[in-house]
Structure 1
Amino acid sequence: MCVGYCTTRLEITEGEAVLIREARGGRGAPNPAQVPQRFSTPLTAAEWQEIQRLAAATDLTTVPDVVGCPDCADGGAEALTIESPSGAESVSLEFRASLPAAQPLLDRVRALRDRLKPQE
Protein backbone atom coordinates (compact mmCIF):
# COMPACT_ATOMS: atom_id res chain seq x y z
CA MET A 1 0.00 0.00 0.00
CA CYS A 2 1.26 3.44 -0.86
CA VAL A 3 0.38 6.62 0.98
CA GLY A 4 1.52 10.02 -0.25
CA TYR A 5 2.61 10.92 -3.76
CA CYS A 6 2.44 7.41 -5.20
CA THR A 7 1.50 8.02 -8.81
CA THR A 8 3.66 9.90 -11.28
CA ARG A 9 3.02 10.50 -14.95
CA LEU A 10 5.47 12.02 -17.41
CA GLU A 11 3.90 13.68 -20.44
CA ILE A 12 6.32 14.54 -23.22
CA THR A 13 5.25 16.82 -26.04
CA GLU A 14 7.14 18.93 -28.52
CA GLY A 15 8.93 21.58 -26.53
CA GLU A 16 8.03 20.44 -23.01
CA ALA A 17 8.09 17.58 -20.52
CA VAL A 18 5.68 17.66 -17.57
CA LEU A 19 5.87 15.36 -14.54
CA ILE A 20 2.60 15.08 -12.61
CA ARG A 21 2.55 13.52 -9.14
CA GLU A 22 -0.74 12.54 -7.52
CA ALA A 23 -1.32 11.62 -3.91
CA ARG A 24 -3.06 8.53 -2.69
CA GLY A 25 -4.43 7.73 0.73
CA GLY A 26 -4.92 4.31 2.26
CA ARG A 27 -6.04 1.58 -0.14
CA GLY A 28 -5.30 3.77 -3.16
CA ALA A 29 -8.07 6.29 -2.57
CA PRO A 30 -7.41 9.87 -3.70
CA ASN A 31 -6.06 12.10 -0.96
CA PRO A 32 -7.69 15.54 -1.22
CA ALA A 33 -5.31 16.94 1.42
CA GLN A 34 -2.40 16.72 -1.05
CA VAL A 35 -2.94 18.51 -4.34
CA PRO A 36 -1.34 17.16 -7.52
CA GLN A 37 2.16 18.49 -8.17
CA ARG A 38 3.41 19.55 -11.60
CA PHE A 39 7.05 19.96 -12.58
CA SER A 40 7.97 20.96 -16.11
CA THR A 41 11.02 21.64 -18.20
CA PRO A 42 11.39 22.90 -21.73
CA LEU A 43 12.77 20.47 -24.30
CA THR A 44 15.21 21.64 -26.91
CA ALA A 45 14.54 20.79 -30.53
CA ALA A 46 17.40 18.27 -30.35
CA GLU A 47 15.92 16.57 -27.25
CA TRP A 48 12.50 16.33 -28.89
CA GLN A 49 13.98 14.94 -32.11
CA GLU A 50 15.93 12.32 -30.15
CA ILE A 51 12.80 11.22 -28.29
CA GLN A 52 10.84 11.09 -31.55
CA ARG A 53 13.60 9.03 -33.19
CA LEU A 54 13.70 6.57 -30.28
CA ALA A 55 9.90 6.29 -30.23
CA ALA A 56 9.81 5.64 -33.98
CA ALA A 57 12.41 2.88 -33.56
CA THR A 58 10.41 1.22 -30.76
CA ASP A 59 7.82 -1.37 -31.77
CA LEU A 60 5.58 -2.15 -28.80
CA THR A 61 3.44 -4.48 -30.91
CA THR A 62 6.17 -7.11 -30.43
CA VAL A 63 5.75 -7.25 -26.64
CA PRO A 64 2.80 -8.29 -24.46
CA ASP A 65 0.64 -5.55 -22.93
CA VAL A 66 1.95 -6.57 -19.50
CA VAL A 67 5.51 -7.75 -18.86
CA GLY A 68 6.38 -9.40 -15.56
CA CYS A 69 4.25 -8.64 -12.54
CA PRO A 70 3.92 -4.85 -12.30
CA ASP A 71 3.23 -3.59 -8.78
CA CYS A 72 3.27 -7.09 -7.28
CA ALA A 73 4.55 -7.19 -3.71
CA ASP A 74 4.62 -3.38 -3.70
CA GLY A 75 7.50 -3.38 -6.17
CA GLY A 76 6.09 -0.57 -8.25
CA ALA A 77 5.07 -0.39 -11.87
CA GLU A 78 5.80 1.62 -14.98
CA ALA A 79 3.92 2.03 -18.22
CA LEU A 80 5.20 3.28 -21.54
CA THR A 81 2.74 4.64 -24.09
CA ILE A 82 3.73 5.82 -27.54
CA GLU A 83 1.10 7.91 -29.31
CA SER A 84 1.17 8.35 -33.07
CA PRO A 85 -1.29 9.38 -35.77
CA SER A 86 -2.17 5.70 -36.21
CA GLY A 87 -3.02 5.20 -32.52
CA ALA A 88 -1.38 4.43 -29.21
CA GLU A 89 0.61 1.40 -28.08
CA SER A 90 1.29 0.69 -24.40
CA VAL A 91 3.13 -1.74 -22.19
CA SER A 92 3.11 -2.08 -18.40
CA LEU A 93 6.14 -3.49 -16.61
CA GLU A 94 7.79 -3.75 -13.23
CA PHE A 95 9.42 -0.54 -12.00
CA ARG A 96 12.86 -0.07 -13.55
CA ALA A 97 12.69 -3.45 -15.31
CA SER A 98 14.51 -4.01 -18.59
CA LEU A 99 12.55 -4.23 -21.82
CA PRO A 100 14.90 -4.92 -24.74
CA ALA A 101 12.34 -3.92 -27.39
CA ALA A 102 12.10 -0.43 -25.89
CA GLN A 103 15.27 -0.05 -23.80
CA PRO A 104 16.81 2.99 -25.52
CA LEU A 105 13.52 4.90 -25.25
CA LEU A 106 12.92 3.72 -21.68
CA ASP A 107 16.40 4.85 -20.66
CA ARG A 108 15.84 8.30 -22.18
CA VAL A 109 12.37 8.72 -20.64
CA ARG A 110 13.58 7.51 -17.23
CA ALA A 111 16.46 9.99 -17.29
CA LEU A 112 14.02 12.78 -18.08
CA ARG A 113 11.69 11.65 -15.29
CA ASP A 114 14.59 11.53 -12.82
CA ARG A 115 15.62 15.03 -13.87
CA LEU A 116 12.13 16.38 -13.09
CA LYS A 117 11.43 14.42 -9.92
CA PRO A 118 11.87 16.57 -6.80
CA GLN A 119 14.61 15.55 -4.39
CA GLU A 120 13.01 14.40 -1.14
Structure 2
Amino acid sequence: MKPGLFVAGFILLFGHCTSSLVPKKLTDADGLVIRTGTSAGMCVGYCVFDYVLNGTNLTLTQRPNSVQSNLTTKTCQSTISQSDLNDLLGTVDLATFFKQPAVLGCPDCADGGAEYVELQLGEQKHRVTFQYGQTIPGSEALVDKLRTHRVALNECK
Protein backbone atom coordinates (compact mmCIF):
# COMPACT_ATOMS: atom_id res chain seq x y z
CA MET A 1 0.00 0.00 0.00
CA LYS A 2 2.79 2.43 0.86
CA PRO A 3 4.56 2.03 -2.52
CA GLY A 4 1.28 2.93 -4.25
CA LEU A 5 0.98 6.13 -2.22
CA PHE A 6 4.60 6.96 -3.01
CA VAL A 7 4.02 6.54 -6.76
CA ALA A 8 0.80 8.59 -6.65
CA GLY A 9 2.57 11.35 -4.73
CA PHE A 10 5.47 11.34 -7.18
CA ILE A 11 3.11 11.64 -10.15
CA LEU A 12 1.25 14.53 -8.53
CA LEU A 13 4.51 16.29 -7.66
CA PHE A 14 5.99 15.78 -11.13
CA GLY A 15 2.78 16.91 -12.84
CA HIS A 16 2.68 20.05 -10.70
CA CYS A 17 6.30 20.94 -11.43
CA THR A 18 5.90 20.45 -15.16
CA SER A 19 2.78 22.60 -15.43
CA SER A 20 4.31 25.42 -13.37
CA LEU A 21 7.40 25.54 -15.59
CA VAL A 22 5.45 25.79 -18.85
CA PRO A 23 2.36 27.97 -18.46
CA LYS A 24 -0.42 27.41 -21.00
CA LYS A 25 -0.95 31.10 -21.84
CA LEU A 26 1.89 33.52 -21.18
CA THR A 27 1.33 37.03 -19.91
CA ASP A 28 3.85 39.79 -19.23
CA ALA A 29 3.55 38.91 -15.53
CA ASP A 30 5.31 35.60 -16.26
CA GLY A 31 8.54 37.49 -16.91
CA LEU A 32 9.50 35.85 -20.20
CA VAL A 33 12.69 37.39 -21.61
CA ILE A 34 13.11 37.07 -25.36
CA ARG A 35 16.46 37.43 -27.07
CA THR A 36 16.72 37.46 -30.83
CA GLY A 37 19.18 38.63 -33.41
CA THR A 38 21.10 38.21 -36.59
CA SER A 39 24.73 37.90 -37.57
CA ALA A 40 26.79 37.61 -40.71
CA GLY A 41 30.34 36.33 -40.77
CA MET A 42 31.46 37.84 -44.07
CA CYS A 43 30.24 41.38 -43.56
CA VAL A 44 31.63 44.90 -43.35
CA GLY A 45 30.29 47.32 -40.76
CA TYR A 46 27.91 46.34 -38.02
CA CYS A 47 27.30 42.64 -38.55
CA VAL A 48 25.83 41.41 -35.26
CA PHE A 49 22.46 42.65 -34.02
CA ASP A 50 21.26 41.39 -30.63
CA TYR A 51 17.84 42.32 -29.27
CA VAL A 52 16.50 41.76 -25.78
CA LEU A 53 12.79 42.11 -25.12
CA ASN A 54 12.01 42.29 -21.42
CA GLY A 55 8.39 43.28 -20.93
CA THR A 56 7.75 46.20 -23.25
CA ASN A 57 11.41 47.30 -23.21
CA LEU A 58 13.42 46.46 -26.31
CA THR A 59 17.21 46.85 -26.28
CA LEU A 60 19.39 46.59 -29.38
CA THR A 61 23.12 46.03 -29.22
CA GLN A 62 24.92 46.19 -32.55
CA ARG A 63 28.55 45.37 -33.02
CA PRO A 64 31.01 44.63 -35.78
CA ASN A 65 32.27 41.14 -36.40
CA SER A 66 35.56 40.32 -34.69
CA VAL A 67 37.65 41.34 -37.72
CA GLN A 68 36.76 45.05 -37.53
CA SER A 69 38.32 46.63 -34.46
CA ASN A 70 37.77 50.25 -35.56
CA LEU A 71 34.02 50.17 -34.82
CA THR A 72 32.59 50.37 -31.32
CA THR A 73 29.60 48.54 -29.95
CA LYS A 74 26.38 50.58 -29.92
CA THR A 75 23.38 50.07 -27.66
CA CYS A 76 19.98 51.75 -27.83
CA GLN A 77 16.53 51.22 -26.40
CA SER A 78 12.96 51.42 -27.52
CA THR A 79 9.61 50.17 -26.33
CA ILE A 80 6.79 48.19 -27.84
CA SER A 81 3.15 48.64 -26.95
CA GLN A 82 1.44 46.42 -24.40
CA SER A 83 -0.84 45.23 -27.19
CA ASP A 84 2.16 44.21 -29.33
CA LEU A 85 3.69 42.41 -26.35
CA ASN A 86 0.45 40.51 -25.71
CA ASP A 87 0.25 39.54 -29.40
CA LEU A 88 3.86 38.36 -29.31
CA LEU A 89 3.38 36.34 -26.12
CA GLY A 90 0.31 34.75 -27.69
CA THR A 91 2.57 33.16 -30.33
CA VAL A 92 4.90 31.52 -27.80
CA ASP A 93 4.59 27.77 -27.31
CA LEU A 94 7.30 26.99 -24.78
CA ALA A 95 6.84 23.23 -24.95
CA THR A 96 7.37 23.17 -28.72
CA PHE A 97 10.21 25.70 -28.63
CA PHE A 98 12.17 23.94 -25.88
CA LYS A 99 12.05 20.67 -27.86
CA GLN A 100 13.91 22.22 -30.81
CA PRO A 101 17.62 21.48 -31.25
CA ALA A 102 20.03 24.32 -30.48
CA VAL A 103 21.01 24.56 -34.16
CA LEU A 104 18.76 24.04 -37.16
CA GLY A 105 20.47 23.41 -40.48
CA CYS A 106 23.77 25.15 -41.10
CA PRO A 107 23.44 28.82 -40.10
CA ASP A 108 25.79 31.16 -42.00
CA CYS A 109 27.61 28.24 -43.63
CA ALA A 110 27.27 29.62 -47.15
CA ASP A 111 27.55 33.29 -46.17
CA GLY A 112 23.79 33.52 -45.82
CA GLY A 113 23.79 34.81 -42.26
CA ALA A 114 22.26 33.43 -39.11
CA GLU A 115 19.31 34.25 -36.88
CA TYR A 116 18.52 33.14 -33.38
CA VAL A 117 15.69 33.20 -30.89
CA GLU A 118 16.22 32.57 -27.20
CA LEU A 119 13.46 32.27 -24.64
CA GLN A 120 14.10 32.51 -20.92
CA LEU A 121 11.47 31.90 -18.27
CA GLY A 122 13.01 31.98 -14.83
CA GLU A 123 15.97 29.62 -14.87
CA GLN A 124 14.81 27.84 -18.02
CA LYS A 125 16.58 29.11 -21.12
CA HIS A 126 16.79 27.76 -24.65
CA ARG A 127 18.33 29.25 -27.80
CA VAL A 128 17.70 28.10 -31.35
CA THR A 129 20.04 29.32 -34.12
CA PHE A 130 19.04 28.90 -37.75
CA GLN A 131 19.81 30.11 -41.28
CA TYR A 132 18.87 33.75 -41.88
CA GLY A 133 15.45 33.98 -43.53
CA GLN A 134 14.40 30.48 -42.45
CA THR A 135 12.22 29.77 -39.41
CA ILE A 136 11.74 27.49 -36.42
CA PRO A 137 9.17 24.72 -36.98
CA GLY A 138 6.18 25.29 -34.72
CA SER A 139 7.30 28.83 -33.89
CA GLU A 140 6.79 30.51 -37.27
CA ALA A 141 4.41 33.19 -35.92
CA LEU A 142 6.86 34.05 -33.12
CA VAL A 143 9.77 34.38 -35.58
CA ASP A 144 7.67 36.58 -37.89
CA LYS A 145 6.61 38.93 -35.09
CA LEU A 146 10.19 39.19 -33.79
CA ARG A 147 11.39 40.08 -37.28
CA THR A 148 8.81 42.88 -37.42
CA HIS A 149 10.16 44.34 -34.18
CA ARG A 150 13.75 43.99 -35.37
CA VAL A 151 12.93 45.92 -38.54
CA ALA A 152 11.28 48.68 -36.47
CA LEU A 153 14.52 49.13 -34.47
CA ASN A 154 17.07 48.19 -37.09
CA GLU A 155 19.98 50.32 -35.94
CA CYS A 156 21.23 52.60 -33.17
CA LYS A 157 21.69 56.13 -34.34
Is this a same-fold pair by TM over 0.5?
yes
Structure 1 position 30, deviation (Å): 5.4
The number of residue pairs the alignment matches comes to: 113
Looking at structure 1, the residues matched to 76 and 144 of structure 2 have their Cα atoms a distance apart, in angstroms, of 20
Amino acid at match of 1:94: Q
2:123 maps to 1:82: no
Larger-gyration structure (1/2): 2
Within 5 A, what are the aligned runs for 1:47-62? 47-55=84-92, 57-58=93-94, 59-62=96-99
Report which of the two has the higher share of strand: 1
SS at match of 1:108: helix
Q: Which of 12, 17, 29 matches 2:67? A: 29
Tell me, which stretches of 5 or more residues in structure 1 are unaligned? none
Contact 2:45 2:68 in 1 (8 A): no
Q: Is the 8 A contact 1:79 1:92 kept in 2?
A: yes
Aligned-residue Cα RMSD (Å) equals 1.7
Question: TM-score, normalization: structure 1?
Answer: 0.83
Instruction: List structure 1 runs of 4+ shifted beyond 6 angstroms.
Output: none
Match of 2:75 among 14, 19, 38: 38
The CA distance in 2 between the partners of 1:86 and 1:23, in whole Å, is 30
Which shows bigger deviation, 83-92 or 108-117? 83-92
Partner of 1:74, secondary structure, is coil
Partner Cα distance (1:113, 1:2) in 2: 19
TM-score under structure 2 normalisation?
Answer: 0.65
Verify: 1:12 aligned to 2:53, yes or no. yes
Q: 1:71-97: CA deviations, max 9, x gaps?
A: 112110011100102411111100010
Identity across the alignment (%): 24
